[in-house]
């Protein structure tokens, strides 16, 4: 055994990111594959078959799938801000897009197979149906789109494509290896094991005595939590091997389990796992893919000259056409942007092609073609997404919208304007007042003119509960996240609650307000004060660079106080060591200037 090949690979893993540091649009992973091609059998032939590299590359693939599972944010499905109707719409669009993708992939693959251009059509179909969650998620985070309904739908669509293709590939390998036998049912053992680990983890690991032991032992020398996560990953890899299935599904399930069981204070564990994976094992996997890349097989096979562009075109067509389902909720630009971004393929397509090559259902030329497709789509697709949906240099002016310019509506508008807020009215008839505020077109013909991302909050203050309910339903359908409705008759409350809007019913809450005034006069004064140095706002954390930052490290200043943090279904009372997470909503007290600076650094103001 010699470690010289490993040394050369690690040197390349160090040099490639440095060489690509100025080309931020070029994925480092693609650079690693190209570096592997340079020194491998299609290039300088400095490295041939090497047991050490092959073994470490297998661990790198397992870690890649594990970290992909760790990236799954389950709060997308359970976030309190997500109304049930919105969750169902997200799942419907994402699920429909995947089923259409799979159906088109099967049709195209059988057509290619009948013409003698491709191998096994079922494996080709599954390989083409993949998406790269590892590309979709960073692109959306960088653009600040991940918390938006559009971003969440894209994430769920990519997650479905990744998970179900992994599951179907596992089933296909089992059928190919053992036939239609009882062994196929053994795949369910993986899910049963995942369920048991989740139940035990929730019930046992969160007991205080054990938590104190884990915290005490998770020092720089022991890293017990990291060791536990790695052991869990390897346990599922070994279980997959024992069951005769592919390890990619087991590793992914292990990562998803760690994501489910982890809490905000476990963020350092995630960072350490990323460091282990992307700092050592995963670059070895991608460079080894390049070393194995058989370019001569691609050149010598004339059918491959036709197959490669056909597969590349198919890879885009079967993602862009099903993504037209996004038009039911989003604009044409967002629809086509989603189609191109979901066309990104990288780790899973390479892993799936490698599995097909080992099984003998695809040849060397097809495997090389899929590696080229991975390199092309992972580089070009994010660029096309940014071209279709360019970053707005000047943020859209955001405002608070009020439905019905009645007495209470005008009073609320004047109060908001004293705080420097922009106010717009949604009114069927023109506003009749000495100084009419700017008005949007009527409700019946004007909803299309109201951009949902410009509305920070919609206040529905009409005297007719039936009309208020109709306006609330229209606002929710348009994707306006923050809706507050005035409810006069408590009998209407269940209908408003079913829409997921916030409710203000004077008859119900006046006792609460009087109790607050009696018991907390200073606190109530802060809420009703019009002074600039006493404002309370809710700010959404949209800056991904601040994820994991401690509250005390933000340097908020003496006139800023974070009163609460809404995180999923939890309302946290923060302290200095509280770490921020993506999608946090911070309720902040401070002056106008200080709040404006904080909004600029954190993300956006919600209400």
Picking from 272, 252, 286, 279, the residue whose alpha carbon sits closest to that of residue 53 is 286
User: Do 56 and 198 sit in the same domain of this protein?
Assistant: yes
User: Do 490 and 546 sit in the same domain of this protein?
Assistant: no
- Pairing mode, if any, of strands 455-460 and 483-486? parallel
Q: What's the confidence (pLDDT) of residue 429?
A: 45
Residue 527 pLDDT level (bands cut at 50, 70, 90): low
User: Do 273 and 165 sit in the same domain of this protein?
Assistant: yes
**Domain count for the chain:** 3
User: Do 172 and 224 sit in the same domain of this protein?
Assistant: yes
pLDDT tens-digit series, residues 380-407: 999 999 889 886 554 456 788 888 767 7
Specify the 3-state DSSP secondary structure of 143.
Answer: helix
Q: What's the confidence (pLDDT) of residue 97?
A: 93
Instruction: Tell me the CB-side half-sphere exposure of residue 139, using CA atoms within 13 A.
Output: 31
pLDDT tens-digit series, residues 320-378: 999 999 998 888 999 999 999 999 998 889 989 988 888 888 888 888 889 999 989 98
Q: What's the confidence (pLDDT) of residue 106?
A: 94
Average pLDDT, integer, range 438-450: 47
Lowest mean pLDDT among 57-61, 78-82, 382-386: 78-82
Would you say residue 393 lies in a domain?
no
**pLDDT at 573 exceeding the cut of 60:** yes
Number of H helices, E strands in the chain: 26, 11
Question: Which whole-number Å values give the CA distances from 138 to 65, 71, 154, 262, 550, in the listed order?
Answer: 16, 10, 12, 20, 22
Would you say residue 258 lies in a domain?
yes
User: Do 420 and 448 sit in the same domain of this protein?
Assistant: yes
User: Do 468 and 488 sit in the same domain of this protein?
Assistant: yes
User: Do 348 and 410 sit in the same domain of this protein?
Assistant: no
Average pLDDT in the chain: 79
> Tokens 């169902």, residue?
88
User: Do 338 and 364 sit in the same domain of this protein?
Assistant: yes
CATH at residue 369 = 1.20.1530.20
> Tokens 């960072």, residue?
271
Radius of gyration of the chain from its Cα atoms, rounded to whole angstroms: 27
Report which listed range, 181-185, 329-333, 461-465, 525-529, is most confident: 329-333
Q: How far apart are CA 38 and CA 17, in angstroms?
A: 16
CATH at residue 572 = 3.30.70.1450
Would you say residue 369 lies in a domain?
yes
Average pLDDT, integer, range 296-322: 88
Residue 432 pLDDT level (bands cut at 50, 70, 90): very low
Would you say residue 394 lies in a domain?
no
User: Do 223 and 371 sit in the same domain of this protein?
Assistant: yes
Concatenated DSSP letters of 259-315: HHH--GGGHHHHHHHHHHIIIIIHHHHHHHHHHH--HHHHHH-HHHHHHHHHHHHHH
Would you say residue 380 lies in a domain?
yes
Residue 498 pLDDT level (bands cut at 50, 70, 90): confident
Q: What's the confidence (pLDDT) of residue 525?
A: 60
Structure tokens at 186: 């053994």
State which residues form the domain around 109: 4-388
483-514 b/e (C-beta count within 10 Å ≥ 16 → b) = bbbbbeeeebeebbeebbbebebeeeeeeeee
Higher per-residue pLDDT: 599 or 305: 305
Q: Are 401 and 326 in contact (CB under 8 A)?
A: no
Q: What's the confidence (pLDDT) of residue 431?
A: 42
Phi, psi of 286 (to 5 degrees): -70, -40
- The burial of 393, by beta-carbon neighbours within 10 Å (0-12 exposed, 13-18 middle, 19 or more buried), is given as exposed
Average pLDDT, integer, range 135-156: 80
**What length does the chain have?**
607
Picking from 435, 436, 417, 434, the residue whose alpha carbon sits closest to that of residue 425 is 436
User: Do 356 and 475 sit in the same domain of this protein?
Assistant: no
User: Do 90 and 167 sit in the same domain of this protein?
Assistant: yes
- Under 8 Å CB-to-CB from 275, ≥6 apart: which residues? none
Helix (H) or strand (E) holding 605: strand 603-605
Phi, psi of 565 (to 5 degrees): -130, 125
CATH at residue 422 = 3.40.50.720
- Give the 3-state secondary structure of 83-142: CHHHHHHHHHHHHHHHHHHHHHHHHHHHHHHHCCCCCCHHHHHHHHCCCCHHHHHHHHHH
Angle at the Cα of 160 from the Cα atoms of 155 and 166, rounded to 5 degrees: 130
Conformational region of residue 500, where left means phi above 0, alpha means psi within -120 to 50, and beta covers everything else: left
Phi, psi of 586 (to 5 degrees): -100, 125
Domain boundary among 486, 502, 525: 525
Domain boundary among 477, 509, 525: 525
Q: What's the confidence (pLDDT) of residue 2?
A: 78
Domain boundary among 368, 388, 408: 388
- Under 8 Å CB-to-CB from 293, ≥6 apart: which residues? 33, 36, 37, 40, 41, 42, 368, 371
User: Do 521 and 563 sit in the same domain of this protein?
Assistant: no
Would you say residue 411 lies in a domain?
yes
Picking from 173, 170, 176, 145, the residue whose alpha carbon sits closest to that of residue 158 is 145
Picking from 133, 154, 160, 144, the residue whose alpha carbon sits closest to that of residue 582 is 144
Phi, psi of 102 (to 5 degrees): -65, -40
Residue 607 pLDDT level (bands cut at 50, 70, 90): very low
Angle at the Cα of 252 from the Cα atoms of 251 and 253, rounded to 5 degrees: 90
């Amino acid at each position: 055994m010699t470690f010289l090949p490993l040394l050369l690979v690690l040197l390349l893993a160090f040099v490639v990111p440095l060489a690509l540091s100025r080309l931020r649009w070029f994925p480092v992973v693609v650079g690693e594959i190209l570096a592997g091609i340079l020194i491998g059998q299609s290039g300088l032939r400095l490295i041939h078959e090497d047991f050490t590299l092959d073994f470490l590359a297998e661990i790198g693939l397992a870690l890649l799938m594990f970290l992909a599972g760790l990236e799954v944010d389950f709060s997308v499905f359970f976030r309190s801000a997500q109304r049930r109707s919105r969750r169902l719409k997200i799942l419907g669009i994402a699920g429909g897009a995947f089923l259409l993708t799979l159906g088109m992939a099967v049709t195209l693959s059988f057509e290619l197979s009948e013409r003698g251009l491709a191998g096994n059509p079922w494996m080709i179909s599954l390989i083409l149906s993949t998406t790269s969650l590892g590309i979709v998620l960073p692109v959306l985070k960088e653009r600040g789109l991940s918390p938006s309904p559009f971003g969440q739908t894209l994430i769920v669509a990519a997650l479905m494509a990744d998970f179900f293709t992994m599951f179907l590939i596992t089933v296909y390998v089992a059928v190919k290896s053992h036939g239609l036998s009882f062994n196929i049912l053994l795949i369910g053992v993986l899910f049963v094991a995942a369920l048991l680990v989740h139940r035990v983890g929730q019930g046992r690991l969160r007991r205080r005595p054990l938590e104190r032991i884990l915290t005490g032992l998770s020092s720089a020398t022991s890293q017990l939590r990291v060791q536990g996560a790695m052991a869990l990953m390897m346990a599922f890899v070994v279980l997959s091997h024992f069951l005769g299935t592919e390890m990619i599904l087991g590793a992914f399930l292990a990562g998803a389990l760690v994501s489910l069981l982890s809490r905000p204070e476990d963020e350092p564990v995630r960072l350490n796992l990323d460091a282990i994976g992307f700092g050592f094992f995963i670059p070895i996997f991608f460079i080894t893919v390049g070393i194995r890349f058989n370019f001569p097989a691609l050149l010598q096979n004339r059918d491959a000259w036709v197959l490669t562009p056909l597969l590349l075109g198919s890879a885009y067509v079967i993602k862009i056409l099903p993504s037209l389902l996004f038009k039911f909720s989003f604009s044409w630009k967002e629809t086509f942007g989603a189609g191109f971004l979901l066309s990104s393929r990288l780790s899973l397509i390479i892993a799936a092609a490698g599995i097909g090559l080992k099984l003998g259902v695809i040849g060397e030329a097809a495997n090389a073609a899929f590696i080229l497709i991975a390199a092309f789509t992972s580089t070009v697709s994010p660029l096309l997404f940014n071209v279709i949906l360019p970053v707005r240099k000047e943020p859209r002016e955001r405002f608070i919208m009020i439905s019905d310019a009645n007495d209470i509506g005008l009073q609320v508008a004047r109060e908001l304007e004293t705080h420097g807020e922009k106010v717009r009215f949604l009114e069927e008839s023109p506003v009749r007042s000495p100084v009419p505020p700017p008005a949007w077109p009527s409700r019946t013909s004007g909803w299309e003119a109201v951009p949902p991302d410009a509305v920070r909050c919609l206040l529905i203050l009409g005297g007719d509960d039936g009309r208020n309910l109709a306006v609330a339903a229209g606002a929710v359908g348009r994707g306006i996240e923050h809706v507050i409705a005035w409810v006069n008759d408590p009998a209407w409350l269940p209908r408003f609650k079913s829409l997921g809007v916030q409710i203000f019913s004077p008859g119900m809450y006046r006792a609460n307000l009087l109790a607050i005034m009696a018991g907390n006069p200073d606190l109530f004064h802060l809420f009703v004060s019009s002074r600039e140095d006493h404002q309370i706002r809710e700010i959404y954390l949209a800056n991904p660079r601040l994820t994991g930052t401690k509250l005390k490290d933000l340097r908020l200043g003496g006139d800023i106080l974070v009163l609460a943090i809404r995180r999923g279904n939890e309302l946290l009372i923060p302290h200095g060591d509280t770490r921020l997470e993506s999608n946090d909503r911070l309720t902040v007290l401070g002056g106008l200037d200080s709040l404006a600076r904080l909004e600029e650094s954190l993300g956006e103001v919600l209400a």
